[in-house]
Amino acid sequence: MFISSAFAQTAPAAASGGDFTSTLMSMLPLLLMFVVLYFVMIRPQMKKQKEHRAMVDALAKGDEVVTAGGFLGKVSKLGDAYIGIEVATGVEVQMQRSAVVQVLPKGTIK
């Protein structure tokens, strides 16, 4: 009574020349999203990693640094993977070079 009859429809014939363009148009939003993602997220993150690597490579003895754990100290020993940081007079902590977050201006730590 209230339900109307449903009839099957035949599939439309595929166009021979427009198949490639329709595929390209359906992929276009995905490609645009990837391009936006690259310029908004991936590229700035790669730039930040490059700057951090350059900062860590340029560390020298006597630099005042802040680490990822929040320690402030002066670099007292340099190694390939580890550095020694003097956090207080006579107290030295060994850390990974990559744990350095920021190099402070000279004379910041008193």
CB-based contacts of 108, cutoff 8 Å, min separation 6: 64, 72
Supply the pTM of this predicted model: 0.69
pLDDT of residue 105 exceeding 70: yes
Nearest to 94 by CA among 77, 72, 70, 69: 77
For residues 85 and 74, the answer to whether their CB atoms sit within 8 Å is yes
Nearest to 95 by CA among 109, 81, 108: 81
- For the chain, the domains span 22-104
pLDDT of residue 6 exceeding 70: yes
Q: Which CATH class is domain 22-104?
A: mainly beta
pLDDT at 23: 87
The arithmetic mean of pLDDT across residues 87-110, rounded, is: 94
pLDDT at 53: 96
pLDDT at 82: 96
d(CA 4, CA 38): 50
Burial of 72 (0-12, 13-18, 19+ CB in 10 A): middle
The arithmetic mean of pLDDT across residues 67-79, rounded, is: 95
For residues 109 and 74, the answer to whether their CB atoms sit within 8 Å is yes
